Amino acid sequence: MTTGRTAGSRQTADLTPDRKTDRKTEEKPLRRAVCPGSFDPITNGHLDIVARASKLYDVVHVAVMINKSKRGLFTIEERIALIEECTAEYGNVTVESFHGLLVDYCKQRDIPAIVKGLRAVSDFDYEQQMAQMNNGLSGVETLFIPTNPVYSFLSSSLVREVAAWGGDVSHLVPEPVHRALAGKLRPQEGSGN
């Protein structure tokens, strides 16, 4: 199942998966990559990776992978809307959700590469396992981009926790996310907290 839109209406015709050629050079296939994740919510660390991937590839698909066993803070639709708002300026980023295996998402869209950020050595073990599993399943490659050190400690779960306790996360998330967090976590009137 997929939902979502292409960021920026001008690109819609160019970015559909079955249009595999560039308008200027009809023979040249578009180079596609996917940045997958839960994005609950997207942080400045995620955004930095998407921005860097968008310079390396013709089209970057941001895939909000649905995990039905995890109840998120933001709905899938809210996550997509926030990512679209934060990535609109790049012009070659599309955002959608997917329920299923990442390799199937890639296969259906002719995407040969997964791009992930690596924050620290502690990320590496699990990321390597997933990369090897995905490659073994379908041949898709995973490329790791070292996270900007400024964001090496940053995760969506820490952002949610710090924000829930009233901590300042304005330097860790894009402005639209900061506003959305404030709206979600505003203390309810009469709750006594």
What residues are annotated to the active site?
46, 70, 119, 156
Contact string (CB under 6 A) for ligand PNS, positions 126-165, x = contact: ----x--xx-------------------------------
Q: 166 is written with which tokens? A: 């009233």
Q: Does 169 bind ligand PNS (CB under 6 A)?
A: no
Tell me the three state secondary structure of residue 35.
strand
Contact string (CB under 6 A) for ligand PNS, positions 93-122, x = contact: --------xx--------------------
Nearest approach in angstroms of CB 37 to ligand PNS is: 3
The single residue among 7, 15, 34, 36 that binds ligand PNS, judged by CB under 6 A, is 36
Q: 105 is written with which tokens? A: 């998402």
Q: What stretches of 10-167 adopt beta strand conformation (E)?
A: 32-37, 59-65, 93-98, 113-118, 141-146
Radius of gyration of the CA atoms of the chain, in A = 17
* Residue closer to ligand PNS (CB basis): 116 or 178: 116
Sheet holding 113-118, edge to edge: 93-98, 59-65, 32-37, 113-118, 141-146
What whole-number distance in Å separates Cα of residue 186 and Cα of residue 182? 6
* Residue closer to ligand PNS (CB basis): 14 or 144: 144
Q: 2 is written with which tokens? A: 């997929």
Nearest approach in angstroms of CB 83 to ligand PNS is: 12
Kindly list the residues in this chain that would bind ligand PNS in the complex (CB under 6 A).
36-38, 65, 101-102, 130, 133-134
